[in-house]
Structure 1
Amino acid sequence: MTIWRTMRNFSSMNITASILLFLAAVSAAIIANSSVAPVYQAFLSHELHLRIGSFNLLSHGGENLRMIEFINDGLMTIFFLLVGLEIKRELLVGELSSFRKAALPFIAACGGMLVPIIIYMLICPPGSVGGQGL
């Protein structure tokens, strides 16, 4: 009974998804750099099939999707959709609903896009081939 109550309390916290995402990322990094990396790579290169009659739902251009492509194309699309919906909710009714509260995160986001571009342009002047400057 105590275990169920603890699990219910943990899952009701707002930070649960962040903790699980962080643990998954750390686990993937550890596995990818361990002795079981070939098994992990084989798992990621495994082809996926979801057939309805002769139609394969998990194919692109007539070729079956591999697990890594499904993660990149399918799951990441859902992830960024949910992030976008969360940002929209915060802008409409949450912590960022006023211009004053939203200004700093907006400026930080713009800086997060512009600063790497500026650094790249300083290191790799126009005319350098393939980003090979200096």
Structure 2
Amino acid sequence: MTDEKRYYTIREVADMFSFDISKVRYWTDNFPTLKNKVKRNRGGDRMYTKEDIRQLEIIYQLVEERGYTLKGARKYLENKEFKQENNTELVDSLLELRKFLLDLKAALDEKAGRPRKFDSSETEEPANEKTLRLARQLK
């Protein structure tokens, strides 16, 4: 069993960034990607997950280190999420197409009496398949 926490209080998060609680609360309220995700406990206190904290780290980098305005940081994050969704769909479509083409090639090779070089069901996968698989895992 791990000792890792699932949720962190707003005080703990503020301490991680050396911020006042009010700044964490302000960012949470002004970034839809956080506002709609941060949970509250029975007492109404905000509880942050590691994913929420990662999102705050990105906001911190954009606003505090790169000099983005809050509006600019929001726009950047919204665009980034849109691109990630589209990339995921594209990778999935390409994987399906690749499998179809490999199966078609295997069927044509079999019909022509040629030996198979690679079947999509084989355990050894080529380098480009590994790349696509890793890309899917990163989504």
TM-score category of the 2 structures, normalised to the smaller one: under 0.3
Higher RCO structure (Cα 8 Å, ≥6 apart): 2
Q: TM-score, with normalisation over the residues of structure 2?
A: 0.26
TM-score (structure 1 length as normaliser):
0.27
